[in-house]
């Protein structure tokens, strides 16, 4: 925790990716929630997409966004469960330069307080790649609310003390 907080808020440039075989722009409540929440918090949306749960398609989009100097944070919803179609962790984790071990641990802890032991079926994870922070969370809107309000919003706020992720971002 060598980077301390700032006294001034800094807007981050973010991308939102919904991983789903069934959702479209009209039915993507989780992606819509993340877009509305990041904008309400003062951050900028660079791009939003929906992709089917295919590890190669997920990895291609996320790789492109990691290489884009304009994108500092990627929020991914969906594909973190245990069905045969849930491949987000496998698709994204190989791209990490560093894992943020505490994100998945903390997500499951706060989620346990809301949904009990069902939280063990979440493979939420996060990491850094090319100075871009990437958060992968379950596809339910409730899980996105939990992740955003209890963890991500504070870590993406330069004024959050004693530390946050803003100093670690690209630009």
On the question of a cis peptide bond just before residue 162, with omega within 30 degrees of 0, the verdict is yes
Q: In the chain, where are the structural domains located?
A: 13-168
The Cα 168–Cα 128 span in angstroms is 9
The secondary structure of residue 139, as a DSSP letter, is: S
Beta bridge partners of 132: 129
In angstroms, rounded to a whole number, what is the distance separating the alpha carbons of residues 71 and 79? 22
In the block, tokens 């209890």 appear at 150
Contacts of 63 (CB under 8 A, 6+ apart): 95
- What does DSSP assign to residue 57? H
Nearest CA to 147 out of 132, 162, 137 is that of 137
Q: Which residues contact 117 (CB under 8 A, 6 or more apart)?
A: none
Read off the pLDDT band of 157 (50, 70, 90). Answer: very high
pLDDT value of position 171:
59
pLDDT at 15: 98
DSSP, residue by residue, 62-85: HHHHHH-TT--EEEEES--SSSTT
Architecture of the domain whose range is 13-168? 3-Layer(aba) Sandwich (3.40)
pTM of the full predicted structure? 0.95
Confirm if 87 and 66 have CB atoms less than 8 A apart: no
- Confidence bin at 84 (pLDDT 50/70/90): confident
Residues 28-57 have a mean pLDDT of: 98
CB under 8 Å to 127, separation ≥6 — which residues?
92, 93, 95, 96, 97, 98, 99, 100, 133, 134
Give residue 49's pLDDT: 98
Q: Would the pLDDT of 154 be above 60?
A: yes
| Secondary structure of 126-167 in HEC code, one letter for each residue | EEEECCEEEEEECCCHHHHHHHHHHHHHHHCCCCCCCCCCHH
């Amino acid at each position: 925790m060598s980077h301390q907080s700032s006294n001034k808020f800094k807007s981050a440039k973010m991308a939102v990716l919904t991983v789903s075989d069934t959702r479209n722009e009209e039915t993507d409540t989780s992606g819509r929630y993340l877009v509305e929440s990041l904008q309400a918090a003062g951050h900028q949306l660079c791009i939003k997409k929906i992709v089917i749960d295919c590890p190669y398609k997920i990895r291609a989009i996320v790789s492109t966004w990691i290489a884009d100097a304009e994108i500092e944070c990627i929020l991914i919803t969906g594909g973190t469960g245990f069905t045969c179609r849930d491949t987000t962790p496998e698709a994204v984790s190989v791209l990490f330069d560093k894992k943020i071990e505490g994100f998945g641990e903390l997500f499951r802890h706060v989620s346990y307080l809301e949904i009990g032991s069902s939280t063990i079926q979440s493979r939420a994870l996060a990491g850094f790649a090319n100075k871009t922070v990437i958060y992968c969370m379950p596809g339910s809107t409730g899980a996105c609310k939990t992740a955003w309000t209890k963890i991500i919003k504070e870590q993406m706020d330069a004024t959050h003390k004693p530390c946050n992720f803003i100093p670690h971002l690209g630009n």
